[in-house]
Amino acid sequence: MDRRSVTRLPIVAAAILALSLFALLTVYVVADGHSHWDRWLFRHLYSGESDWGGLRAPGQDNPSLNAAEPVLYRLADARALALLAAAVLVTLVLMKRIRSAAFFAAAVSVAALVPVLKELVDRPSPFPMPDDPSFPSGHATASMAIAAGIVVVVPPGRWRWVAGIAGAILVTVVGLAVVTDSGHWPSDVLAGWCLALGWVAALTALAGHRLEGWPTRNSRGVEPERPTPGPANISSTGSV
C-alpha cells in the first residue's frame, strides 16, 4: 500500500461515518419524528414565545444569544451563503486554480439534493407550514459544504487552520440561526452537516490529491526531491 492510500484512509473513514450518521438520522426521523432530545434542544434555543406541540414554548432567555440573533440571521441568509460560494469560486478561477474551482463547485452542489430529500422524508418543521418540509436543513447543508470545500482547496499549512476555524464558526452560526427562528429541528441541522461533510469527504478521497497546492507523490508515495544547484546541474554551455 503506497503512502497516498494510507493518507486517504482517514478521509474515506470520515465520509463513511458522516454518511452513516445521516442515514441513521433519516431512519430515526421517518420512524419516530422527533424524540425527547430534539424537543428539549429546540425549546432551549427557540427565541420566540408560542403554543407548540400542546405545550407552552417560552423560548430561551439568554441575553447574549438574543443580542446576537440579528447578526445570526444575516449570516444565515441564503443570499449571503450563495454570495460567499460565488466569491470563492470566482477567486479560484481568477487564481487559475481550475481544478480547485471545479472541486468546490462539486462540493457545494450537494445542496441540490436537499429539496429532493425534503420531499421524500416530508418532515414538518416545529411550526408546520404547507409544502415546507424541514429535513434536512438546506442552510446547514450549504454552509457545511462551503466551509468544508474551502478547507479542502486551501493548501495544507497555517491558512488551512484559519479556514477551518472560520468555517466552524460559520456552520455553528447558521445552525443556531435556523433553530432559533423556529424553522428547523436540531436534528435537521445535524443531518445537513453530516450530509455535506460526507459528500465533501468522499469527493476529497476521490480527487483531493489532484488539486493545485496539494503535495504530489510518485508511484511509491514519496514526494519527489527537488534538484539542488551544483556542477552536475549546470549546463555545459552555461556560465557560472
Span 173-203, pLDDT tens digits:
999 888 888 788 999 999 999 999 999 999 9
> What confidence score (pLDDT) does residue 132 get?
81
* pTM, entire model: 0.79
| Maximal C-alpha separation, the chain | 89
Asked if 193 and 171 count as a contact pair (C-beta separation under 8 A), the reply is yes
Q: What are the C-alpha distances in Å from 59 to residues 55, 177, 201?
A: 12, 14, 36
Residues contacting residue 127 through CB under 8 Å, at least 6 positions apart: 50, 52, 182
> What confidence score (pLDDT) does residue 126 get?
82
Q: Could you report the per-residue pLDDT of 17-40, keeping only the tens digit for each?
A: 999 999 999 998 888 766 788 888
> What confidence score (pLDDT) does residue 7 get?
67
Cell 432559533 belongs to residue: 180
Asked if 107 and 168 count as a contact pair (C-beta separation under 8 A), the reply is no
> What confidence score (pLDDT) does residue 214 get?
61
- Grid coordinates of 226: 527537488
Cell 552536475 belongs to residue: 232
Phi, psi (degrees; rounded to nearest 5) at 104:
-65, -40
> What confidence score (pLDDT) does residue 59 get?
54
The span from the CA of 227 to the CA of 48, in Å, is: 65
Mean pLDDT, consecutive 10-residue stretches, the chain (240 aa), reads 60 94 92 79 71 48 62 78 95 93 96 94 83 90 96 90 94 90 89 96 85 55 48 45
- Grid coordinates of 6: 494510507
Phi, psi (degrees; rounded to nearest 5) at 165:
-65, -45
Q: Which three-class secondary structure state does DSSP give residue 62?
A: coil
> What confidence score (pLDDT) does residue 240 get?
40
